[in-house]
Amino acid sequence: MTAFLHQVFSGLASGGIYASVALALVLIYQATHLVNFAQGEMAMFATYVAWALVQAGLPYWPAFLLTLAISFAGGVAIERIVIRPFDKAPVLASVCVFIGLLSIFNSLAGFIFTYTIKTFPSPFGEQAWYGTRFLSPHETGEIVVTLALLVLVYAFFRFTPLGLAMRAAAQNPASSRLVGIRVGWMLALGWGLAAAAGAVAGMMAAPIVYLEPNMMGGILLYGFAGALLGGIDNPWGAVLGGFMVGVLENLAGGYVVGADLKLTAALVIIVGVLVIRPSGLFGRPIAQRV
């Protein structure tokens, strides 16, 4: 029983990271109906930026916050400069742009920071008081940070005028223009927020999976799967999906197939769920107007 609970809680911990990535994906998806496949590499690059700041002597939390700010600005810039020219292009052309971005970020990280695996500090000390039998201090702290991120994002969208404007722009750009919302900038803001959410995921993951240019590949996949599992048009469903995927992955690895095939098992289960419920567990059923 203890072992089982351990797997579940561990799964929740990794699930928190997947949930952050899922949130980042949904933020962009809602506004553009595109999945940003480069999200993982952007997050990884942001984590390297944080690492560099810490190496330069900045204490952890200031580096963390500064990285969030830089990621946000970077996300906005990328949307305005790289993505904007493609807003009338075919969907698959945008997908190729994402693939291009992915390659660029991945190689740039390798080029600037080399492929040597680096350690990334965790702000949650090894012996901290909030470590329990089931969760290490880092895992606990990481879940708290993830939840804090989610609460902040929720509050932003629900209670601020700008959040409302962003929601409106995502749902109905034409009508949004008719109330004076600058839809283009709302998109850019969405990318900025997504980049920041991704950075949080990266910085929380790095102490566990170690910092190297390919660290986010699997995490992106799980984030994507979690987002779809929860229903990609529903941010909170997507987040829940992320947590579920984390637990699923751990249980599959621990009880069903062992570490080698746990990716396979998790994916088979997820795809199986999607075949049964094509719009995800909490998504709006896709009703099509004829």
Q: By the 8 A CB rule, do 197 and 238 touch?
A: no
- For another protein, the closer CB: 137 or 253: 253
Q: Is 285 among the residues that bind another protein (CB under 8 A)?
A: no
Q: Is 278 among the residues that bind another protein (CB under 8 A)?
A: yes
Q: Is 24 among the residues that bind another protein (CB under 8 A)?
A: no
Phi and psi dihedrals of 118, rounded to 5? -115, 155
- x-or-dash string of contact with another protein, 242-271, rule CB under 8 A: ------------------xx-xx--xx-xx
- For another protein, the closer CB: 143 or 240: 240
Q: Is 84 among the residues that bind another protein (CB under 8 A)?
A: no
Q: By the 8 A CB rule, do 241 and 280 touch?
A: yes
- x-or-dash string of contact with another protein, 170-209, rule CB under 8 A: -xx-xxxxxxxxxx--------------------------
CA distance 283 to 244: 15
- For another protein, the closer CB: 58 or 108: 108
CA-based end-to-end distance of the chain: 52
Q: How far is the CB of 171 from another protein (least distance, A)?
A: 6
CA distance 239 to 197: 12
Closest CA to 265 of 273, 255, 274, 257: 257
Q: Is 167 among the residues that bind another protein (CB under 8 A)?
A: yes
Neighbours of 272 (CB within 10 A): 10
- For another protein, the closer CB: 19 or 200: 19
Contact window for another protein (CB under 8 A) among 63-71, 141-149, 159-167, 189-197: 159-167
**Could you say which of 69, 73, 89, 147 contacts another protein (CB under 8 A)?**
89
- For another protein, the closer CB: 73 or 261: 261
Phi-psi region at 33: left, alpha or beta (left = phi > 0; alpha = psi -120 to 50): left
Q: How far is the CB of 24 from another protein (least distance, A)?
A: 15
Q: Is 91 among the residues that bind another protein (CB under 8 A)?
A: yes
Closest CA to 240 of 26, 68, 46, 35: 26
Question: On the CB side of 164, how many CA atoms lie within 13 Å of its CA?
Answer: 5
Which residues on adjacent β-strands are paired with residue 211? 118
The beta strands (E) that lie in the chain are given as none
Q: Is 77 among the residues that bind another protein (CB under 8 A)?
A: no
Q: Which residues, 6+ apart, have CB-to-CB distance to 107 below 8 Å?
A: 213
Q: Which residues bind another protein (CB under 8 A)?
A: 35, 82, 85-86, 89-93, 95-97, 99-104, 106-111, 114-115, 161, 164-165, 167-168, 171-172, 174-183, 213, 221, 224-225, 228, 232, 260-261, 263-264, 267-268, 270-271, 274-276, 278, 286, 288, 290
